[in-house]
């Protein structure tokens, strides 16, 4: 990659890092998600900025061109991110069910206190 391309990607990456930090600061992004994105951007910066890594990566992956190796790496990153989000969504879904059940039980108990146990049905 040319020096201009490396500088462009590095400037873009610094912008992404600042955006991530700002989203965490304003509490619009959870820390666990921010760590994933922060490490991803830093990893991309290192791979792009160090030419020897950029030529080593395709050889290690069996790719012909660095762009195809970076595309595969991006695909793996996106796939891992989707798995992480799925785990988080499953935990939230389970918690939502537990909260809905607790609210229903609390409402039933409150209704039984007001009307008596035989009229709550």
* pTM exceeds cut of 0.85: no
First vs last Cα of the chain: how many Å apart?
73
C-alpha dihedral sign at 8, 14, 16, 18 = negative
Share of the chain above pLDDT 90, in %: 48
pLDDT tens-digit map of 19-63: 999 999 999 998 988 998 999 899 989 988 988 888 888 888 888
- Tens of pLDDT, residues 50-107: 888 888 888 888 888 888 888 888 899 899 889 988 999 999 999 999 999 999 999 9
How far, in Å, CA of 31 to CA of 25, rounded?
A: 10
**Matching residue, tokens 């049905």:** 121
């Amino acid at each position: 990659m040319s020096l201009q391309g490396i500088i462009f990607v590095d400037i873009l990456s610094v912008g992404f890092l600042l955006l991530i930090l700002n989203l965490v600061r304003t509490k619009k992004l959870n820390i666990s998600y921010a760590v994933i994105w922060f490490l991803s951007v830093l990893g991309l910066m290192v791979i792009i900025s160090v030419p020897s890594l950029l030529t080593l990566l395709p050889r290690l992956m069996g790719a012909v061109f660095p762009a195809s190796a970076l595309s595969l790496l991006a695909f793996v990153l996106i796939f891992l991110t989707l798995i992480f989000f799925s785990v988080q969504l499953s935990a939230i879904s389970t918690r939502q069910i537990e909260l809905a059940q607790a609210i229903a039980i609390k409402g039933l108990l409150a209704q039984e206190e007001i009307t008596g146990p035989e009229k709550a049905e």
